[in-house]
Amino acid sequence: ADLPSVAIARGEIEPGLGVLTAFVKAGLVPSTGEARRQVKAGGLRVNDAVVTDERAALGLADLSSDGVIKLSFGKKKHVLLRPE
């Protein structure tokens, strides 16, 4: 599956990148407020796991074996976050 990927500075992920901010940076939602609504509705997933905590942070531990973090919004929108 060739998913679109968004490059992100490794320095932004190392200290922990807020999950809401990550979805905005990936272009999946227009604002953190919309991301927050989607979390409440169960519409956002990180690495195929539903996001339940809007205060969660993504870190290097969330990287897959391919070195990316998969963000999903609904069933059809997916973006890979690729730290550089």
Q: Contact 43/78 with Cβ under 8 angstroms?
A: no
Q: How confident is the model at residue 2 (pLDDT cuts 50, 70, 90)?
A: confident
pLDDT, tens digit (0-9, with 9 covering 90-100), for 23-78:
999 999 999 999 999 999 999 999 999 999 999 999 999 999 999 999 999 999 99
Tokens read off for 56: 């969660």
Q: Which residues touch 2 (CB under 8 Å, ≥6 apart)?
A: none
